[in-house]
Structure 1
Amino acid sequence: MSSLEILSLAYNELSGKIPSALGKLTKLKLLAVGGNRLSGTVPPPIFNLSSVMLFDIGANQIEGTLPANIGFTLPNIQIFSISSNRFTGAIPCSISNATTLELLQANLNKLSGNMPPLDRLNELRAWNVGSNYLGSGGYDDLSFLCSTNTTNLLALFIEDNRFGGTLPKCIGNLSVTLSELKLNQNLLFGTIPRVIGNLVDLERLLLDHNGFSGTVPSDFGNLHNLVVLYLSYNEFSGAIPSSLGNLANLAQLYLDHNNFDGHIPSHLSNCRSLVELDLSSNNLNGTIPPESIGLSSLSILLNLSRNHLTGVLPEEVGKLNLLAQLDVSGNMLEGDIPASLGSCVGLEVLKMQENSFRGSIPLSISLLRSVKELDLSHNNLSGQIPEFFEALHYLEILNLSYNNFEGTLPAKGIFSNASATFVFGNDKLCAGMLEFHLRKCISRNSNRILIPKWKLAISIFFGFSGIALVLALIYF
């Protein structure tokens, strides 16, 4: 056993503590016990296995701190993974002496303190410390980025921590091979430096849930390889840069919950790979560009809600035949609901509430066989509620409240469930079920005067008698 070089016991449902006897395997190069139910602390001798190149104890229930000299005791380490455990304390500064380190995964722990310098980690390819308590909210929390001296870095994940301060200009000096950068869910603020456009190999950039402000630099348009861009839940303002239309590979664009104003740029129609677009909760105005809403690649989400958009919903919406969720609620849209909406046969969620749509619900809506949630409330719709809603078998929530519907509420399908159907605020509507709190429908026959049969017989008898008397007087 003393000559053992590989010990791989990952994902075997092992429990208990890591035995300290493993520290005697002085020739061990690979230690992989991740994905078990191991607990307790790591015995100190194991951190002294100087031959180890791969150290993986991730996805367990291990606790404790990392030894201060770990960068010296593991001089040959290439892959170091302690993710999804319960480690506390700081990442030791000595880690920068582990010059062979290529991958560090310490995410999903309870680590705290400042980031160590990374200037000597020339072989580093991925650094993942997301979902910890790192950083202090201080102005220079990201200063470690300026000491990074690696040309091989592919991924830097520091999301969901307590990093504060501004994004330093040295961010543009990171490896040109960097493909993933996740800084989201921190305490960062200030503007985005234009040099971020230097990171031309970026495929995923997540800056959401911070306090960034100012305008989004047009230099984002240089990131031609970008597939995912999250800028939501910040304080960005100004116009959405038209240069985003240069991002032909962009699949997910989230700009929601900011202070963007101006029009929706028509250049977004050039993003032919876009499957998710969220511009909700901003101050956007003007009409919806037909070329943007008709982007047929959109298959998961188009959210334009909570803005100040005006005009009609363009007929081009019918090109979104693959789209699963469409939300244009909370705007100032008007006009009829376009019949072309019935071509969006993939829709599962359709939200059009809190606008000024008028007219009747078009028959083409009956083609939305996959729809689960449909909200047309708080509009100026009128006419009768179509019975075809009864046949939409996947429909779970239907909200038609506060419109001008009239007539009898259908009774089958979704309408048989008063907790899933909302029709408040339609004064001319009646229903048979009391649960809808509508006036009860009155049958047409209920106003007729009913005459007892015996009275009817007497009336008929005297009627015929009168006729006979008149005839007798005429002929006799």
Structure 2
Amino acid sequence: MELSRKSSEVSISFLPVCVEVTILLTGFNLQGLNIATATSVVRGNDTDQQALLQFKAKITGDPLKIMESWNSSIHFCQWRGITCGRKHPRITKLELPSLKLSGSLSPYIGNLSFLMELNLSGNGFYNEIPQEIGHLRRLKTLEMTNNSVSGEIPSNLSACSKLIWLHMADNQLTGEIPASLGLLSNLKVLGVYDTRLTGSIPPSLGNLSSLETISFASNSLSGIIPEALGRLTNLSFFAVGENEISGIVPVSMFNLSNLMAFDIGGNKIQGTLHSDIEFTMPNVEIFSIRGNQISGQIPISISNASNLNVLQVYDNRLSGSVPSLEKLDKLKIPPQVLGIPSLTILLILSLNHLTGELPVEVEKLKNLGELDLSHNKLSGMLPKSLGSCASLEKLFLEGNLFERSIPSSLSSLRGLEALDISDNNLSGEIPIYLVNFGALKFLNLSFNDFEGVLPSEGVFKNLSYQSLLRATDGFATHNLVGSGNFGYVYKGILEESGVSIAVKVLTAVSGVDYKGNDFKALVYEFMQNGSLEDWLHQSITMNEPETSTKHEFLSKI
């Protein structure tokens, strides 16, 4: 910036000298010099204006009538979305975001040689990006998100050497990421997500030392994460989730100290997270490796991420106990996964092979909004310390081996909106304090060994009736499979789980129907063959295992 300003000052100070010399040298035609200069300026203006008119000609949809201002009654520098330079009437910015425009991009856009910012996001532009865009050598910002642009990313974008911001997300782009983008030495933001890119991430991107953001999420990329990306010391945002990327995560990626978001979820990445990995991402706030094939244990050093507020490692092959605060060496003990106080949004460890008890250190997650430990092999009692997580809004513990009763300390979790502890070995009575959870919208207590009376107020009010009414299609006659002295039996399918059930309207699940009448019913898993009595009272001589049933207590409002 300083060099450019000084150059302008030199040019301005040089002009009077030229004029003075021209006056003294009478052989020169001063008037002709002025005419030539004026003609040059007009020619430049005409080029820009014609390029804009060609751009306008390709617009096929303009419901807000934005293009009506693009007419000869006013100078093109005053047209909607146009900014010109201060010292010359040449276009430096073309900004028309979210104006419901549609059409294709004119190749004449490449004639706007002074253009520094092009923002057409949030419109309906389609067809390919013209190769002529590579002629914009002064371009610093290219923003094309949320359109319907197709074709490949122009490889000659590398000629736009001053480009800082390149954002083409949410389009229909195809082909591979051009390796030539690795020549954009000034690039800081590279976002091409929610498109249809294929191929692999080019290692040449590792040469972009200024790069701060990489987002290629939700494409069809394959290959591996290049080792070269571990050199991007200024990288703060890395998201390549929802692709087909395989291989392992380069260890060097864990040493990028400026990273604030790291998301590789939803790929085919393998490898082991060894407990001795040196996890040095002190500024990371979001860390997600969900939905891969990563095995091993959760590295203890992840606790070095003191700013972490979202941790997603679910749906992998992680094993071993959830780390606790036991002393492992003579060094100062850092807090472990369940003791990171900065976790305020998500902690999801579900769909792994975690074993052992839920450590009491869970009490340190006082500000956490969602805790999901479902579908593991956790066992033992639910710790009383879980009641200290007073900010919890969602708690998912289903599909484990937890046993005995629900601790009374959970009564402090009054902000819960969703609670699922189904498919465990829990027993005892259903806590009456759940009726006071006014924010509770989803409750699943099914497939446990609870006993006693089901509460009838709060979230429990009308719950058998609502779920069973939907499951049996309003107790329709076509779902009636039997009748007897004690009531009718209907076949149904629970919409929440898809489980087939037999509903005998009688005594176990109680509530009121929509008319205020008492409603009582027994709910069993539906058996395809034979009567309910045959299955409940099988003869020992049948040499078949006895079956057991579990009551379904499910509420989804």
Shorter-chain TM-score range:
0.7 to 0.9
Partner residue of 1:203 out of 236, 245, 263: 236
CA distance in 1, matches of 2:450, 2:217: 45
Indicate the RMSD between aligned Cα atoms, in angstroms.
2.8
Structure 1 residue runs of 5 or longer lacking an equivalent are: 6-12, 35-48, 440-476
- 1:247 equivalent in structure 2: 281
Partner residue of 1:75 out of 87, 93, 113: 113
CA distance in 2, matches of 1:61, 1:323: 40
- 1:101 equivalent in structure 2: 139
Cα distance, 1:235–1:407 mapped onto 2, change above 3 Å: same
- 1:63 equivalent in structure 2: 102
1:180 partner amino acid: T
- 1:387 equivalent in structure 2: 432
Cα distance, 1:50–1:74 mapped onto 2, change above 3 Å: farther
- 1:223 equivalent in structure 2: 256
Q: Is the 8 A contact 2:197 2:220 kept in 1?
A: yes
Cα distance, 1:244–1:188 mapped onto 2, change above 3 Å: farther
Cα distance, 1:93–1:243 mapped onto 2, change above 3 Å: farther
Structure 2 residue runs of 5 or longer lacking an equivalent are: 1-41, 49-61, 325-335, 469-495, 502-506, 512-517, 524-557
CA distance in 2, matches of 1:391, 1:26: 67
Tell me, yes or no, if structure 1 residue 134 matches structure 2 residue 134: no
- 1:145 equivalent in structure 2: 179
Tell me, yes or no, if structure 1 residue 437 matches structure 2 residue 516: no
Partner SS state of residue 119, structure 1: helix
Cα deviation, 1:209-243, whole Å, max 9, x if unaligned, reads 11000111101123110001110110011113664
Cα deviation, 1:363-384, whole Å, max 9, x if unaligned, reads 0000001001111111001111
Q: Is the 8 A contact 1:396 1:420 kept in 2?
A: no
Q: Map 1:280-319; keep pairs closer than 5 Å.
A: 280-290=314-324, 291-319=336-364
CA distance in 2, matches of 1:172, 1:413: 57
Cα deviation, 1:361-413, whole Å, max 9, x if unaligned, reads 00000000100111111100111111111111111121111111111112221
Count of residue pairs the alignment pairs up? 406
- 1:448 equivalent in structure 2: none
Tell me, yes or no, if structure 1 residue 178 matches structure 2 residue 211: yes
Cα distance, 1:363–1:114 mapped onto 2, change above 3 Å: same
- 1:400 equivalent in structure 2: 445
CA distance in 1, matches of 2:355, 2:172: 44
Tell me, yes or no, if structure 1 residue 86 matches structure 2 residue 124: yes
Cα distance, 1:349–1:420 mapped onto 2, change above 3 Å: farther
Q: Kindly state the Cα deviation for residue 432 of structure 1 after the two structures are TM-superposed.
A: 3.8
Q: Kindly state the Cα deviation for residue 91 of structure 1 after the two structures are TM-superposed.
A: 1.1
1:225 partner amino acid: N
Q: Is the 8 A contact 1:385 1:405 kept in 2?
A: yes
Tell me, yes or no, if structure 1 residue 110 matches structure 2 residue 148: yes
Q: TM-score, normalised by structure 2?
A: 0.69
Q: Is the 8 A contact 2:289 2:312 kept in 1?
A: yes
CA distance in 1, matches of 2:318, 2:239: 22
Tell me, yes or no, if structure 1 residue 22 matches structure 2 residue 67: no
Q: Is the 8 A contact 1:27 1:51 kept in 2?
A: no
Q: Is the 8 A contact 2:182 2:204 kept in 1?
A: no
Q: Is the 8 A contact 2:367 2:390 kept in 1?
A: yes
Q: Is the 8 A contact 2:70 2:80 kept in 1?
A: no
Partner SS state of residue 65, structure 2: strand
Partner residue of 2:201 out of 164, 167, 171: 167
Cα deviation, 1:135-189, whole Å, max 9, x if unaligned, reads 23xxxx12x2335433321101111111111112112112x12111111111111
Deviates more, 1:273-282 or 1:416-425: 416-425
Q: Is the 8 A contact 2:217 2:239 kept in 1?
A: yes
Cα distance, 1:27–1:111 mapped onto 2, change above 3 Å: closer
Cα deviation, 1:49-82, whole Å, max 9, x if unaligned, reads 98111111110111111112321x2011011111
CA distance in 1, matches of 2:390, 2:467: 22
2:171 partner amino acid: N
Q: TM-score, normalised by structure 1?
A: 0.80
Q: Kindly state the Cα deviation for residue 123 of structure 1 after the two structures are TM-superposed.
A: 1.4
Q: Kindly state the Cα deviation for residue 245 of structure 1 after the two structures are TM-superposed.
A: 2.0
Cα distance, 1:80–1:25 mapped onto 2, change above 3 Å: farther
Deviates more, 1:254-263 or 1:20-29: 20-29
Cα distance, 1:225–1:172 mapped onto 2, change above 3 Å: same
CA distance in 1, matches of 2:97, 2:262: 29
